[in-house]
């Protein structure tokens, strides 16, 4: 790695990221994904035995055991959520400071954000289309929660007032960055990080270096905590699946097979869109891309967190896809925050599915609102497991569907969370490759170095 001339060169960055990415690569080679799948399967079995389908224990006892089994999973989620904000701040600021100049930074930022918004809208539209086409809700009649009877089938959703738009846009700028961090306002945190990063680029190297040294230490602290959390992943999946199956029952989960199939078909279509974009706009063979990014996609599937695999994503982009550090270390952290295409597609399918279950007719206006909400909600949502359910509740309320319907899909959410996270990370890597292709001469791809 060489310095870029402003004292904030790319040589400043890779050490902590490479240490953790080597560790994460080792987890993939150690079959972490296989352990996660085994944990998920065992969780289904244990949850079925403890749940209402088999009834080996009293329902109250089964719920109690399920809650304790889920403890490692809750600890895993809490640890990732705890560390994601400082990790994003350190990565975004350092990625921006690695940029060659402000002009390159401005062009890259506009292109990346525009590409993320467009592809997220495409993903949500695919979700609505595939959900309407496959009609998975028709197989779930009679399973809707009681709130269904309180609705008359009409959506009461309305677009936000244009008068409030300036105030909303100003609200994106964090008046108090610490409040934004405490409240988990990820978009405000990213905007704050971008402003700090641009300021560091504009400063003299001797003035910016102490801040970058501090962020380097912060990044290493975050990496250490992520390593600890990753050890819990198989136990986390086992416990969460056992708890959900204990609560809902295995028969109800089997009835969700059509819904799961619909989401998976939609995600495969989105993967096809990405591969088509990669082939047409970057000239890279899709098969080679999948081969190069296989490890990080397996890890994303295993952890259900694009934030947890961020270091390995950056290393894969640089070493396998030939992306410069100034591009990868800006695009990947930003993508982990605002590029949630798999999540947007899943939310659209889930909205159509629950509307079918409740017998609610979604108008074209409501569908357009779902796309807009999916795009808006994915921007700034934490890159952590399970956050899609939280965002989905907001989308459902907007189009007049009772959020209580989420109880129907919670049982299979863990499986779908793993799949949509892999698509999210695919989107980040495709964007990296495109931005490198559009912003200058691509560096030759190098083999991954063997690190101890």
| Per-residue model confidence as pLDDT tens digits over 97-127 | 765 566 667 777 778 888 888 998 899 999 9
- Mean pLDDT of the chain, nearest integer: 74
SS3 199: helix
Sorting pLDDT into bands at 50, 70 and 90, what band is 24? Answer: low
428 and 333 Cβ atoms separated by less than 8 Å: no
Which one has a higher pLDDT value, 245 or 379? Answer: 245
Q: Which pLDDT does position 442 carry in this prediction?
A: 44
- Model confidence at 17: pLDDT above 80: no
**What tens digit of pLDDT does each residue of 174-215 get?**
788 888 777 766 667 777 887 888 788 788 878 888 888 888
Work out whether the CA dihedral 108, 114, 116, 119 comes out positive or negative: negative
Mean predicted confidence (pLDDT) in 313-334:
84
Sorting pLDDT into bands at 50, 70 and 90, what band is 265? Answer: very high
Mean predicted confidence (pLDDT) in 327-340:
80
Q: Which pLDDT does position 264 carry in this prediction?
A: 94
Q: Which pLDDT does position 325 carry in this prediction?
A: 82
Q: What share of the chain is helix, strand, coil (3-state, %, to 5)?
A: 75, 0, 25
Mean predicted confidence (pLDDT) in 30-45:
74
Mean predicted confidence (pLDDT) in 322-332:
83
Q: Which pLDDT does position 262 carry in this prediction?
A: 92
Q: Which pLDDT does position 126 carry in this prediction?
A: 94
Residues 6+ apart with CB under 8 A from 340: 120, 378, 379, 381, 383, 388, 424
What distance in Å separates the CA atoms of residue 271 and residue 274, rounded to the nearest whole number? 5
- Model confidence at 449: pLDDT above 60: no
Q: Which of 79-93, 145-159, 426-440 has the highest mean pLDDT?
A: 426-440
**What tens digit of pLDDT does each residue of 56-99 get?**
777 778 778 888 888 887 787 777 767 777 877 887 787 667 65
What distance in Å separates the CA atoms of residue 227 and residue 224, rounded to the nearest whole number? 5
- Model confidence at 296: pLDDT above 80: yes
What distance in Å separates the CA atoms of residue 251 and residue 274, rounded to the nearest whole number? 35
Mean predicted confidence (pLDDT) in 401-406:
68
Based on the number of CB atoms within 10 Å of its own CB, is 110 exposed (0-12), middle (13-18) or buried (19 or more)?
exposed
320 and 292 Cβ atoms separated by less than 8 Å: yes
Q: Which pLDDT does position 308 carry in this prediction?
A: 75
Which sequence spans correspond to the domains of the chain?
17-439
SS3 326: helix
Sorting pLDDT into bands at 50, 70 and 90, what band is 268? Answer: very high
Q: Which pLDDT does position 160 carry in this prediction?
A: 47
Q: Residue for token digits 């495409």? A: 122
Mean predicted confidence (pLDDT) in 33-43:
75
What distance in Å separates the CA atoms of residue 409 and residue 355, rounded to the nearest whole number? 13
Sorting pLDDT into bands at 50, 70 and 90, what band is 271? Answer: very high
Q: Which pLDDT does position 206 carry in this prediction?
A: 82
State whether CATH 1.20.1530.20 applies to domain 17-439: no
Q: Which pLDDT does position 123 carry in this prediction?
A: 92
Which one has a higher pLDDT value, 386 or 403? Answer: 403
Sorting pLDDT into bands at 50, 70 and 90, what band is 263? Answer: very high
379: which 2 tokens?
Answer: 């921007």
Q: Which pLDDT does position 175 carry in this prediction?
A: 80
Mean predicted confidence (pLDDT) in 429-439:
85
CA 232 to centroid of chain Cα atoms: 19
Q: Which pLDDT does position 11 carry in this prediction?
A: 41
Which one has a higher pLDDT value, 165 or 369? Answer: 369
Mean predicted confidence (pLDDT) in 266-277:
94
């Amino acid at each position: 790695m060489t310095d870029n001339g402003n004292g904030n060169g790319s040589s400043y960055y890779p050490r902590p990221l490479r240490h953790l990415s080597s560790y994460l690569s080792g987890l993939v080679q150690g079959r972490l994904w296989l352990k996660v799948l085994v944990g998920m399967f065992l969780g289904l079995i244990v949850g079925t035995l403890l749940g209402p389908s088999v009834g080996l224990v009293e329902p109250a006892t089964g719920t109690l055991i399920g809650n304790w089994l889920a403890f490692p999973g809750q600890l895993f989620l809490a640890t990732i959520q705890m560390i994601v904000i400082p990790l994003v701040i350190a990565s975004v600021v350092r990625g921006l400071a690695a940029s060659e100049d402000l002009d390159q930074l401005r062009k890259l930022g506009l292109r990346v954000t525009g590409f993320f918004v467009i592809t997220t809208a495409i993903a949500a539209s695919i979700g609505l289309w595939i959900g309407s086409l496959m009609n998975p809700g028709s197989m779930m009649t009679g399973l809707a929660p009681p709130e269904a009877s309180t609705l008359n089938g009409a959506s009461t959703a309305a677009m936000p007032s244009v008068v409030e738009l300036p105030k909303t846009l100003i609200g994106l700028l964090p008046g108090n960055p610490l409040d934004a961090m405490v409240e988990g306002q990820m978009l405000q945190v990213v905007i704050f990080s971008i402003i700090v990063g641009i300021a560091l680029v504009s400063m003299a190297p001797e003035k910016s270096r102490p801040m970058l040294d501090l962020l380097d230490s912060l990044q290493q602290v975050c990496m250490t905590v992520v390593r600890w959390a990753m050890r819990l992943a198989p136990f986390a999946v086992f416990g969460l699946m056992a708890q959900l199956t204990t609560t809902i029952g295995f028969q109800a989960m089997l009835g969700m097979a059509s819904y799961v199939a619909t989401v998976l078909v939609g995600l495969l279509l989105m993967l096809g869109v990405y591969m088509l974009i990669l082939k047409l706009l970057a000239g890279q063979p899709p098969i080679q891309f999948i081969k190069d990014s296989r490890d990080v996609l397996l890890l994303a599937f295993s952890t259900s967190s694009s934030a947890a695999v961020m270091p390995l994503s950056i290393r894969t982009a640089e070493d396998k896809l030939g992306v410069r550090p100034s591009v990868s270390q800006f695009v990947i952290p930003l993508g982990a925050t605002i590029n949630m295409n798999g999540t947007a597609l899943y939310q659209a399918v889930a909205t159509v599915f629950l509307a079918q279950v409740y017998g609610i007719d979604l108008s074209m206006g409501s569908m357009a609102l779902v796309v807009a909400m999916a795009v808006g909600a994915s921007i700034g949502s934490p890159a952590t497991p399970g956050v899609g359910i939280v965002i989905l509740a907001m989308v459902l309320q907007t189009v007049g569907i009772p959020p209580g319907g989420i109880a129907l899909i919670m049982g299979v959410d863990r499986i779908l969370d793993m799949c949509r996270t892999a698509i999210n990370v695919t989107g980040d890597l495709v964007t990296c490759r495109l931005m490198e292709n559009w912003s200058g001469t691509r560096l030759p791809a190098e083999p991954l170095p063997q690190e101890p």
